[in-house]
Amino acid sequence: MSLYDNEAKAALAQIAKKDKITILAIESSCDETAAAVLSNRDVLSNIIASQVDIHKRFGGVVPEIASRNHSLAVKNVVEQAVEQSGLQLCDIDCIAVTYGAGLLGALLVGVSYAKALAYALKKPLIAVNHIKGHIAVNYVASKDLKPPYVGLIASGGHTAILKVKDYLDFEVLGETQDDAAGEAFDKVARVLGLPYPGGPCIEKLAKEGVANIKLPIPLKKQLGYDFSYSGLKTAVINYVNSAKQRGDNICAADIAASFQDVATDMMVDNAVRAAIDTKIDTIVVAGGVGANTQLRQKLEEKAEKFNIKVFYPPVSLCTDNAVMIAAAAYFMIKSGKSSQTLALEASANVALCD
Ligand code: KG4
Ligand code: ZN
């Protein structure tokens, strides 16, 4: 522990007692360089520099290119976030940053920048788990939301059902055994010749089609809450390849609609069943796939039948941003679980509940 670490620890204890905590957060785990300033749960600024157009050409995120572009963007993005917040750097109480999970080289940029900033400003550094951020952004979007609830996490890297017992106390009830839901959307989109990221493109194309292709529902007969998206993705690829071999015309819109129908059913079924089984009357959606309109509609319809409430963030806060990182940091500070030294390292793989 350095002198800075001891000072930061003492400073955090003081910050936790404040009525208004001002947090500058940085997120760089994949292809968005993002920074945000929050005062408690109020968003003062939210800046996102997306690299989507750069990676589109390659059909997915190229890690080295992502790291390089984070390096180019991070300084400007942070400066803009501070400027738009109307505050000065000296008004910020602490710096929060995503340390994992994600692309290691991409994470390193945000972590290094946050460490340097924290050291130079003599402000505490808070290391945030990306998935905890996706969940916590719901507390910014819905100020009346309180645990306990069942969390449906659906992003490009994770798909899981959590029992959220308290703000920072989670239990994994089920998770994907192979691909994440977002990954399946992206891969199916690629097979259909749609650009990256696939989720929004599949959703748009599905509106023009009919879900008339029979696809398998993996793990349907099991009673747990696990997912398997690899089999569903392979079924779509096989369907497309067989049709091509036979010289049949394929209707991409029908394939998109059929895939989306099964993919969303799997999430809705597991989330609602988990809420019923645990006798918890609230489901909270988190992660990029949570932007999907069909998922939201089906979840609301099914949940309503069992008097279960559903919360989800606005679409702009479903995909990666730094507001979510600041939100998680806020609850970490409040609970006293946030001490972090400058020895912090980025980590590509982080357990969901770490
Ligand atoms: O949470 P996120 O921004 O990044 C990760 O933490 O992985 O999620 C990105 C994923 C991508 O796979 C993207 O295709 C998917 O979320 N996604 C969607 C939609 N918008 C984004 N999937 C389905 N429907 C959407 N509207
Ligand atoms: Zn994410």
pLDDT computed for residue 1 by the predictor = 56
Ligand nearest to the CA of 289: 1
Per-residue pLDDT of the chain (354 residues; tens, 9 = 90+): 566 777 888 888 899 999 999 999 999 999 999 999 999 999 999 999 999 999 999 999 999 999 999 999 999 999 999 999 999 999 999 999 999 999 999 999 999 999 999 999 999 999 999 999 999 999 999 999 999 999 999 999 999 999 999 999 999 999 999 999 999 999 999 999 999 999 999 999 999 999 999 998 877 767 799 999 999 999 999 999 999 999 998 999 999 999 999 999 999 999 999 999 999 999 999 999 999 999 999 999 999 999 999 999 999 999 999 999 999 999 999 998 776 778 899 999 998 877
pTM, two decimals, is 0.96
pLDDT computed for residue 2 by the predictor = 64
Task: Among 152, 319, 323, name the best residue to mutate to test ligand 1's pocket (greatest count of ligand atoms within 8 A of Cβ).
Answer: 319
> How far is the centre of ligand 1, averaged over its atoms, from the C-alpha of 288 (Å)?
3
pLDDT computed for residue 131 by the predictor = 95
pLDDT computed for residue 3 by the predictor = 60
pLDDT computed for residue 223 by the predictor = 77
pLDDT computed for residue 339 by the predictor = 63
pLDDT computed for residue 8 by the predictor = 81
User: Taking a C-beta distance cutoff of 8 angstroms, is the pair 298, 290 a contact?
Assistant: no
Question: Closest Cα partner for 106 from 135, 61, 70, 134?
Answer: 70
Please name every residue paired with 22 in a beta bridge, in sequence order, or none if there are none.
Answer: 39
Ligand nearest to the CA of 204: 1
Beta strands in the chain (DSSP E): 22-27, 32-39, 42-50, 94-100, 125-129, 149-154, 159-166, 169-175, 282-286, 309-311
| Six-digit token string for 348 | 């590509």
Name all residues whose Cβ lies below 6 A of ligand 1: 30, 134, 155-157, 182, 185-186, 197-200, 203, 287-289, 291-292, 319-320
Q: 10 Å Cβ neighbour count for 234?
A: 16
Ligand nearest to the CA of 159: 1
| Six-digit token string for 19 | 């009525």
> How far is the centre of ligand 1, averaged over its atoms, from the C-alpha of 182 (Å)?
5
- Amino acid 288 reads G
pLDDT computed for residue 7 by the predictor = 81
Please name the residue whose Cα sits nearest to atom 19 of ligand 1: 199
Task: Among 155, 232, 294, 352, name the best residue to mutate to test ligand 1's pocket (greatest count of ligand atoms within 8 A of Cβ).
Answer: 155
Exposure string over 341-352, b if 16+ CB within 10 A, otherwise e: eeebebbbebeb
